[in-house]
Amino acid sequence: MLEAVLFDLDGTLADTAPDLAAALNHVLRSENRDPLPFDEIRPWVSHGAKYMIRQGFKEEPPHIDELWSQLVDFYQHNIATHTRLFEGMDQILRTLEKRQLKWGIVTNKPAFLTDPLVQALDLNCKCVISGDTLAVKKPDPAPLLFACQQLAVDPANVLYVGDAQRDIEAGKRAGMRTAVALFGYLDSHDSPDTWGADILLTQPIDLLKLF
């Protein structure tokens, strides 16, 4: 019996890549480097700001902490300029609420970025677990289990949807059913069919078939 659906945020629930790509290109320009095309940056987004910087610079800059602060500051002030829910996701959320199924967000994004984004997108979720809500984050299952406590649901009756291998690993370790958002920020070397997820979603609307 399905009681709840939990979503990763970036690359699963919301298409945040345009604003994060703009933040990375802002940093590159500040270092007198050419901006990169969006399609090149998009697969890096799920791995965090420092990963994006390393990829963008093709190395780890010695002042990466300073660049990280600059990227995050720019992103924080432009957090929902172009970010939108993935097409069809609003219908999914309405369907969950209509059927009185609980839903929430479990992300590795820190709360000081997660909370204003959730507010800007006007998301009426029952719980939001950020990357710094607990001492550990995904692929540790603890954030997902904590979300289940907040929602008062059995993990065995929860579906977790994410676009990264760590999402599926965390969901499986939590005893949940899992689904890969193939429309998310997968890289060319990713092999989601080997992650052991229960479901592969080509587009958000595919979730309706499960309800």
| Annotated catalytic residue, options 10, 15, 167, 190 | 10
Tell me the CB-side half-sphere exposure of residue 168, using CA atoms within 13 A: 19
Q: Which of 168, 196, 202, 198 is nearest to 184 (CA)?
A: 202
* Residues 173-187 as b or e (16 or more Cβ within 10 Å = b): bbebbbbbbebbbbe
What is the Cα Rg of the chain in Å?
17
Tokens of 144: 């997902």
10 given a catalytic annotation? yes
| Annotated catalytic residue, options 8, 15, 19, 167 | 8
Tokens of 42: 């998009």
CA distance 106 to 61: 30
CB proximity list for 132: less than 8 A, separation 6 or greater: 110, 111
Active site residues: 8, 10
